[in-house]
């Protein structure tokens, strides 16, 4: 009985090892792919800020906070002052607002964690997209319903190009939209 059990282990050790190695490869592959795509990345933020509450329920315009998105390359995350326009009076007794006020009083920027990022060697520009009438949601998903911001779309070169080649199909609601550039220099300068 005992020896047949050992026999069983010996006979099966090789397939088990292969399985473990294969699984490790698969997991590493998907983990590194996820890191590169960024899809699903939804970090905890220093203050529990809700887009669903502010942009959804309260319908504050995206550009009230992301002021430069139509004018420049970057959308920018708002300064504490923007929050304090309201939170000097709104919900001042809540723990998260006390934290917020503390940053403000100490004149310290809030260390928000960056969610979306293309590598430095690639060039992306918000204003060229936004001024053509492309909605934030086309790239960032349904932010108005997100309690916590996470990345829902991949920003790999393949995905940029797939929209640039088929802008009509990808953006059926945007009137008179032209295809985006495919030449390398547009995004690698
Ligand atoms: C009241 C201010 C406010 C409003 C209104 C607002 N945002 Fe934000 N947004 C923030 C803050 C603060 C952050 C950084 C913290 C976070 O990620 O939750 C942020 C982060 C983001 C990010 C992630 C940035 C990154 O690091 O990649 C996106 C995308 C975004 N907002 C899109 C939108 C869109 C789209 C709307 C409108 C539907 C909107 N926001 C409305 C304040 C605001
Ligand atoms: C236009 C006014 C306005 C602006 C700007 C604004 N808020 Fe608010 N915020 C509110 C109001 C009003 C509530 C309470 C909503 C409710 O509970 O129904 C609230 C709720 C919150 C809460 C939840 C508090 C709790 O625990 O009940 C947090 C956290 C918060 N805001 C953070 C922020 C941050 C961070 C910013 C800046 C990026 C910001 N707010 C900008 C009006 C604003
Ligand atoms: C065509 C796709 C696209 C559209 C449309 C778009 N974004 Fe973005 N957004 C991106 C990409 C790509 C990044 C990462 C940019 C980088 O790393 O330089 C990003 C990053 C951000 C960030 C992080 C800070 C920054 O500027 O890099 C914020 C905030 C943001 N977007 C908000 C918005 C808002 C608000 C709108 C609508 C007014 C919007 N975005 C429309 C693709 C888009
Ligand atoms: C949802 C569709 C969509 C996505 C996703 C998208 N783009 Fe675009 N992009 C466009 C369209 C449409 C245009 C052309 C607008 C026009 O000129 O009418 C454009 C134009 C551009 C331009 C040209 C700006 C100029 O100077 O004329 C650059 C650069 C660019 N995109 C970079 C990127 C990068 C980098 C990404 C990926 C991170 C990306 N885009 C993702 C739709 C998209
Ligand atoms: C619409 C924008 C856009 C255009 C046009 C574009 N790229 Fe890219 N490219 C990107 C972005 C964004 C990345 C970074 C994300 C990624 O790795 O996919 C990238 C990454 C790359 C990489 C690194 C890939 C890797 O696996 O690390 C190379 C090499 C590259 N591009 C070459 C080119 C060449 C050559 C062309 C012209 C034929 C070109 N790109 C045109 C947006 C673009």
Summary mean pLDDT of the chain: 89
Residues near 136 by Cβ (< 8 Å), separated by ≥ 6? 62, 69, 130, 143
pLDDT (0 to 100) of residue 37: 76
* 8 A C-beta contact, residue 110 and residue 36: no
Give the torsion through C-alpha atoms of 90, 94, 99, 105, to 10 deg: 40
* 8 A C-beta contact, residue 48 and residue 164: no
What residue's CA is closest to ligand 3, atom 2?
Answer: 139
132 lines ligand 4 (CB under 6 A): yes
- Mean pLDDT confidence for 84-91: 96
Residue 56 alpha carbon, nearest atom of ligand 1: 38
* 8 A C-beta contact, residue 71 and residue 131: no
| Beta-carbon count within 10 A of 55 CB | 20
Which residue among 48, 56, 58 is best mutated to probe the pocket of ligand 2, counting the most ligand atoms within 8 A of its Cβ?
58
End-to-end CA distance of the chain: give it in Å, rounded: 71
* 8 A C-beta contact, residue 126 and residue 73: yes
Residues near 120 by Cβ (< 8 Å), separated by ≥ 6? none
Task: Identify the weakest region by mean pLDDT among 31-45, 83-97, 135-149.
Answer: 31-45
Residue 159: pLDDT over 70: yes
| In the chain, % of residues over pLDDT 90 | 77
> Which pLDDT band holds residue 27 (cuts at 50, 70, 90)?
low
What residue's CA is closest to ligand 2, atom 1?
Answer: 86
More confident residue, 32 or 13: 13
| In the chain, % of residues over pLDDT 70 | 81
Which residue among 68, 116, 131 is best mutated to probe the pocket of ligand 3, counting the most ligand atoms within 8 A of its Cβ?
116
Cα 178 to middle of ligand 5, angstroms: 20
């Amino acid at each position: 009985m005992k020896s047949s059990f050992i026999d069983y282990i010996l006979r099966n050790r090789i397939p088990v090892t292969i399985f473990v190695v294969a699984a490790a490869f698969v997991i590493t592959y998907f983990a590194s792919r996820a890191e590169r795509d960024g899809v699903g990345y939804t970090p905890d933020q220093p203050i529990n800020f809700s887009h669903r509450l502010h942009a959804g329920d309260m319908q504050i315009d995206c550009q009230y906070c992301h002021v430069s998105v139509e004018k420049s390359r970057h959308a920018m995350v708002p300064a504490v002052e923007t929050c304090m326009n309201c939170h000097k009076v709104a919900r001042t007794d809540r723990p998260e607002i006390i934290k917020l006020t503390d940053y403000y009083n100490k004149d310290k920027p809030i260390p928000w964690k960056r969610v979306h990022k293309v590598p430095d060697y690639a060039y992306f520009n918000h204003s060229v997209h936004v001024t053509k009438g492309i909605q934030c949601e086309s790239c960032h998903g349904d932010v108005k319903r997100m309690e916590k911001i996470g990345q829902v779309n991949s920003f790999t070169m393949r995905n940029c190009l797939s929209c640039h080649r088929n802008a009509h199909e990808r953006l059926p609601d945007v009137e008179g939209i032209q295809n985006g550039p495919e030449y390398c220099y547009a995004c690698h300068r």
